[in-house]
């Protein structure tokens, strides 16, 4: 069922079209004047506009032109007499969907309306899909213009054109998978699939089946043949995420695929050849891992033909404001909320913060403040309780602690610890992390100061209540 706007100055024709379309369960609105119809079109969404070409005052072309000027993309079908066909064709160049020549029958109108509705829906579905793809691509962008990120981007551009295996090393949350996808997207294989396997998430048996596939009956529960990721990614790229967690026995089979480009499914003796580029990621030092016999040394060298080091966020602090802006903008838009505003003091605090969780922690923080602080000015005291790692103390504060007249080193230490405790409202675990000391060490220092009378218990209670 479609919502149809019919515009014609002849009452008999309007009534006839309305009767036909209502009989086909369309919702029909009729107008004898194009200007009156335009007023309604601006207020009510129609699926199709069916208008006469020749009318007193504003004609069908004028109606079409005004609709497009107002940004209304509703399909317009023109009704025209034989003598006006050339004009109708010209109107189609202006954006009319189609025209029907008088006299026409009911079936012609019905077919045109059905086609217009179907094609408009297809266009809208394609637009939704396009925007979804753009959103996904935007979420996978590498954000940052620091020297460290420029080095990574430059390396990606050079590596992408090769078919050699890549090993991306870096801490958790630095964006290793984003780098891998950037390599694939810039490579000649970008039109082919890129698949990902998390080597840490599966048992050795399941991981082997996931990588190489299995035949029906190969093991309990294998009730049908299944292709593995190497087969499915043929011609494309396979990302082995956290490859350091792979079982040693399975590492030998992976080594063979990398060397020979061939493998067998689990439960099969048939050798299959594939053309797959492998990109592996890890947050471990594979040299050290292989020295401890936890990772095959020959596999390490086979994987690290083209190594990339993904820098932690603390080594590219210039990118932090850009990352904050990026995530806050995207999350606020997604949640349809007003964007929170970081005060200069808050931005300075976050730029100095160590970000042990790297970019993933930035995104998590932005999620929280975009929802909880929508439309507000976000002050430092709002974000401090959300930070779990060390916070770099401002140099002025350190100087005021270290160089106060007559203050010895022990007093300076106590002053710094108490200020940090106050910053975290008495939360000892966060305080210890911020100071870079153990929780037990902090507890022992506080106990010693209480026992020595250098610290009043009521002071700790006051801090905790703030």
Gap between the Cα atoms of 356 and 336, Å rounded:
29
Provide the mean pLDDT of the chain.
86
DSSP for residue 369: H
* pLDDT surpassing 70 at residue 307: yes
Residue 464: predicted pLDDT: 64
Gap between the Cα atoms of 226 and 247, Å rounded:
21
Comparing 20-34, 112-126, 317-331, 452-466, the range with the smallest average pLDDT is 452-466
Gap between the Cα atoms of 239 and 172, Å rounded:
16
* C-alpha closest to that of 246 among 238, 237, 255: 255
Interval 392-410 mean pLDDT: 45
Q: How many residues does the chain have?
A: 466
Asked if 211 contacts 166 with a C-beta cutoff of 8 angstroms, the reply is: no
Q: Is the pTM of this model over 0.85?
A: no
* pLDDT surpassing 90 at residue 282: yes
Which strand (E) or helix (H) includes residue 270? none
* pLDDT surpassing 70 at residue 448: yes
Gap between the Cα atoms of 281 and 249, Å rounded:
19
Which strand (E) or helix (H) includes residue 57? none
Asked if 114 contacts 123 with a C-beta cutoff of 8 angstroms, the reply is: no
pLDDT band of 117, cuts 50, 70, 90: confident
* pLDDT surpassing 80 at residue 138: no
Contacts of 108 (CB under 8 A, 6+ apart): 100
Residue 407: predicted pLDDT: 47
Gap between the Cα atoms of 227 and 14, Å rounded:
61
Contacts of 244 (CB under 8 A, 6+ apart): 199, 282, 283, 284, 286, 289, 294, 295
State CA 328 to chain mean position distance: 12
Comparing 293-307, 329-343, 353-367, 448-462, the range with the smallest average pLDDT is 448-462
Residue 161: predicted pLDDT: 92
Report the percent of the chain where pLDDT is more than 70.
Answer: 89
pLDDT band of 267, cuts 50, 70, 90: very high
Q: Which tokens sit at 300?
A: 């390490």
SS3 content of the chain, % helix, strand, coil (to 5): 55, 15, 30
Residue 402: predicted pLDDT: 41
Do strands 48-52 and 76-80 pair parallel, antiparallel, or not at all (unpaired)? parallel
- The CA angle 402-405-408, to the nearest 5 degrees, is 55
Interval 401-414 mean pLDDT: 56
Q: Which residue has the higher pLDDT, 295 or 133?
A: 295
**CB burial of residue 405 (10 Å; 0-12, 13-18, 19+):** exposed
* pLDDT surpassing 70 at residue 134: no
Residue 401: predicted pLDDT: 41
Indicate the SS3 state at residue 343.
coil
Gap between the Cα atoms of 399 and 52, Å rounded:
82
* C-alpha closest to that of 373 among 335, 326, 427: 335
Residue 241: predicted pLDDT: 95
CB atoms within 10 A of CB 434: 24
Gap between the Cα atoms of 396 and 419, Å rounded:
14
* pLDDT surpassing 50 at residue 356: yes
pLDDT band of 212, cuts 50, 70, 90: very high
* pLDDT surpassing 50 at residue 235: yes
Gap between the Cα atoms of 171 and 183, Å rounded:
19
Comparing 58-67, 75-84, 220-229, the range with the smallest average pLDDT is 75-84
Residue 439: predicted pLDDT: 82
Return the half-sphere exposure (C-beta side, CA atoms, 13 A cut-off) of residue 7: 32
Interval 390-414 mean pLDDT: 51
Q: Which tokens sit at 106?
A: 């009911």
């Amino acid at each position: 069922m479609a919502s149809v706007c019919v515009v014609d100055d002849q009452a008999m024709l309007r009534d006839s079209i309305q009767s036909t379309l209502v009989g086909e369960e369309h919702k029909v609105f009729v107008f004898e004047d194009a200007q009156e119809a335009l007023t309604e079109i601006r207020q009510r969404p129609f699926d199709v506009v069916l208008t006469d070409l020749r009318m007193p005052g504003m004609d069908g072309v004028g109606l079409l032109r005004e609709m497009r000027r107002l940004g209304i993309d509703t399909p317009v079908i023109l009704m025209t007499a034989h003598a006006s066909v050339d004009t109708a064709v010209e109107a189609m160049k202006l954006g009319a969907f189609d025209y029907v020549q008088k006299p026409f029958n009911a079936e012609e109108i019905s077919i045109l309306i059905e086609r217009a509705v179907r094609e408009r829906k297809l266009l809208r579905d394609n637009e939704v899909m396009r925007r979804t793809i753009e959103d996904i691509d935007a979420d996978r962008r590498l954000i940052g213009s620091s020297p460290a990120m420029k080095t990574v981007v430059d390396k990606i551009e050079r590596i992408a054109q090769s078919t050699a295996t890549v090993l991306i090393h870096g801490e958790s949350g630095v964006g290793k998978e984003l780098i891998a996808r950037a390599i694939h997207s810039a490579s000649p294989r970008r039109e082919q699939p890129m698949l990902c396997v998390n080597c840490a998430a599966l048992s050795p048996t399941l991981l082997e089946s996931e990588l190489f596939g299995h035949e029906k009956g190969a093991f309990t529960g294998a009730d049908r043949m299944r292709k593995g990721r190497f087969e499915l990614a043929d011609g494309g790229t396979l990302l082995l995420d956290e490859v350091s967690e792979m079982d040693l026995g399975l590492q030998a089979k992976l080594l063979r695929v990398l060397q020979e480009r061939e493998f067998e499914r689990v439960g099969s003796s048939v050798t299959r050849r594939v053309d797959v580029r492998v990109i592996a990621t890890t947050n471990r030092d594979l040299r050290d891992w292989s020295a401890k016999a936890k990772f095959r040394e020959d596999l390490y060298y086979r994987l690290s033909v083209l190594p990339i080091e993904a820098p932690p966020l603390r080594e590219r602090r210039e990118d932090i404001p850009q990352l904050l802006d990026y995530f806050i903008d995207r999350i606020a838009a997604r949640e349809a909320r007003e964007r929170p505003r970081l005060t200069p003091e808050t931005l300075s605090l976050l730029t100095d913060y160590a970000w042990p969780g790297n970019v993933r922690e930035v995104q998590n923080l932005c999620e929280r403040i975009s929802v909880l602080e929508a439309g507000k000015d976000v002050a430092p005291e709002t974000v401090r309780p959300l930070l779990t790692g060390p916070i770099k103390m401002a140099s002025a504060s350190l100087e005021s602690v270290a160089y106060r007249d007559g203050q010895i080193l022990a007093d300076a230490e106590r002053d710094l610890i108490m200020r940090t405790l106050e910053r975290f409202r008495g939360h000892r675990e966060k305080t210890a992390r911020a100071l870079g000391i153990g929780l037990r060490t902090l507890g022992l220092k506080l106990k010693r100061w209480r026992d020595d009378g250098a610290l009043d218990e009521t002071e700790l209670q006051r801090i905790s209540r703030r």
